[in-house]
Structure 1
Amino acid sequence: MLSAFWGAVGGKLADRWSAVATPALVFWLGGLGAWIYHRRGEHRLDSDTHWLTHQSAAAQIALLLAALLTVAASGVLVAAITSPVLRLLEGYWPRWAGPMTRLLTRRALRRAGLDRDSLQAARARLRSQPTPADRALVARLERRHRQRPVAPADYLPTSVGNLLRAAETRPTIRYGLDTVVVWPRFWLVLPDPTRQALLAARSRLDVAVGTAIWSVAFCAFSPLAWPALPVGLGLVAVSVAVTVPARARVFADLIDATFDIHRTALYQQLRLTPPVGPADEPAGGRVLTTLLWRGTYPPALTYTEPTDPGAQTS
């Protein structure tokens, strides 16, 4: 839901260029290795190097610029499609994929139901006769439960999508705050260390998605060197099945922690009274969300004294 926001706030120019250029350079160096493999070794490479060294200075500069532009353009292209590819990995698929979306979503719901039943049974065994195996099982199933949305209507067809959707919907359930509505304002009142931690976690997630994209593209070198295909497919599998979910979990945990610790700063900077207790949180959050989304003020709403923007709140 927040892909556009994260794309807009992504880091300094130098950092972004480094993140774009380095994978592109590695990719094209791998392509060069495949081409050398195709040319069958050192003799052909020597002849090509000999040809290059005998070109004019202008021709060599033009070839170097062409190579740099190719690296830069490919890096920019992959960076531009990283967010759309992440949305595909989350399960936001086009309408024509509706049958597959519904099938996999129902499968995710069935798995969640089975895990819920197993968790209840394991908790019952712990109360009667606790064992290390049941403790480990409960911890594992509780972790899975936390990584899924609460409402069946919020489920997506992929585990990464459900993990991030759970992080986006949890503030609404706990605090009444709609993440999509409040996040742009919330971002402005967060302390700088928190913003940097969120940006770093999101950047690492984007790098993992970018690695999957580069790995798919690397398979295109297989006509030159057959090992490119298994290497590319292996990297895709590792990125999609391991790296992207792991980094998505870190990012989701940081979103949770940010709302847990800093949510009252949003009330204070809007000159609203924060909820006085846990029972008041959902109603207060819904009022704040409605105010930001529709500009609707409840009749009894009053402003509090302005607070210091630099003050740290919890």
Structure 2
Amino acid sequence: MWEAAGAKLAERWAAVSVPALVFWLAGLLAWTRSRGGFHALKVPADWLAKQSVPAQITIVLIALLGVSASGVIIERLTTPVLRLLEGWYWPCFLKPLRHKLVERRKTKVEERLRRYQELSPAVAAGTASPEERTEHGSLTMLQRRSPSPAPDMPTRIGNTLRAAETRPVDKYGLDVVSVWPHLWLLLPDTARKEIATARVSLDASVAACIWGVLFVLFAPLTLWAVPAGLGVAVVGVVAWVPSRAEVYADLLEAGFDLYRRTLYEQLRWPTPCNPREERAQGQELTRYLVRGSDSTTPAWGSDR
């Protein structure tokens, strides 16, 4: 038991503290650069060497605790920062920009949909050129990243995650926010592990953006901290976070696609017989989970 607990604790510490340790080591590098090179480390190293062994151990532990604490703080900030990257909770003065970005994305989606409809007959008939089939496939993937009925978030990240939340409603009548906690408890360990890993990866990419922005604070020590920090933040926002959000969104939707029947069975709710009935049943099930019901239907038999 202690070995398992120790392994989990070490794994957790590494996940939180390693990025923080990299950040502070980079900050130390910036400090040494501002002092003329690595020989600047000789003074604090000599001072530490003169301390007693207990004092040295205490100083090292305090430094490690400080690194871990900064990692925990950044970890707590990942969710609100992700909300900002999605397009939620923008300040009031950015509302005009948010509205403009949403309208721009709606226009792009409409153009893609028209082009998709133009290419679909030829692709279905097998007469499309290789270039047209490639374009049709790309448009299909782009449509998957757009929430229904139209984009309502100003960023690519926000629309990707919103699409994963709205698609189960469109297909099955199941509201993700209301149903997901119940479905999560019914997922097999393999599925939960994959989804949890994807979420951790998404949060780690958001944390990298935060660390990059914070690294700019070392600019008084060395000016290269500005391009380095902003470069990491920009790459994170443009590439890392969107790509990992897509993986997480796909797995979230797959959870509903594959295991929603288990939800019906565990709640003793009648299993839908066709897609149209399933959408209506899903809406009823969502309302039941949110508000409860005093209706006499559906009837739960003793064998269910």
Q: Does 1:255 align with 2:252?
A: yes
Which residue does the alignment assign to 2:4?
A: none
1:147 aligns with 2:145: yes
Q: Pick from 131, 135, 140 the counterpart of residue 133 of structure 1.
A: 131
Of the candidates 225, 229, 253, which is equivalent to residue 232 of structure 1? 229
CA distance in 2, matches of 1:52, 1:291: 64
Counterpart contact for 2:219–2:226, Cα < 8 Å: yes
Deviations 1:257-285 (A, max 9, x none): 11111001001001112101222110110
* Corresponding residue number in structure 2 for 1:34: 30
1:66-105 equivalence runs, <5 A = 66-96=62-92, 97-105=94-102
Matched ranges for 1:183-202 at <5 A: 183-202=180-199
Instruction: Note if contact 1:122-1:134 (Cα within 8 Å) is conserved in structure 2.
Output: yes
1:285 aligns with 2:290: no
Q: Give, as a single letter, the amino acid of the residue that structure 1 aligns with 2:73.
A: L
1:36 match: secondary structure: helix
Map of 1:173-188 to 2, 5 A cutoff?
A: 173-188=170-185
Separation in 1, partners of 2:77, 2:178: 25
Equivalent residue for 2:61, pick from 58, 65, 71: 65
CA distance in 1, matches of 2:178, 2:160: 19
Q: Which moved more, 1:170-179 or 1:218-227?
A: 218-227
TM-score by length of 1: 0.88
Distance 1:15 1:45, change over 3 A: closer
8 Å CA contact retained: 1:194, 1:258: yes
Establish whether residue 22 from structure 1 lines up as the match of residue 15 from structure 2.
no
Does the Cα contact within 8 Å between 1:83 and 1:206 map onto a contact in 2? yes
CA contact (8 A) 1:268 1:306 kept: no
CA contact (8 A) 1:271 1:305 kept: no
User: Which of 256, 264, 267 is residue 267 of structure 1 equivalent to?
Assistant: 264
Q: In the TM superposition, what whole-angstrom CA distance separates every residue of 1:67-111 from its partner, at most 9, and x where no partner exists? A: 112201110110110000011111102351322221111111111
Who is 2:161 aligned against? Answer: 164
- Contact 1:205 1:244 (C-alpha < 8 Å) held by counterparts: yes
What's the CA shift for 1:45? Answer: 2.6
Q: Which amino acid aligns with 1:68?
A: L
TM-score of the two chains, using structure 2 as the length reference: 0.91
Aligned pair count reads: 295
With over 3 angstroms needed to count, the CA separation of the structure-2 counterparts of 1:295 and 1:13, relative to structure 1, is: farther
2:292 aligned residue: 295
Distance (Å, rounded) in 2 between the aligned partners of 1:151 and 1:248:
20
- Identify which of 29, 49, 55 aligns with 1:53: 49
- Shift, 1:299, TM fit: 3.2
In 2: Cα distance, 1:188 partner to 1:159 partner: 30
Note the residue ranges of structure 1 that are not aligned, 5 or more in a row.
1-11, 308-314
Identity %: 43
Q: In structure 2, what is the equivalent of residue 7 of structure 1? A: none
Deviations 1:100-139 (A, max 9, x none): 2211111111111121122223335545841111111111
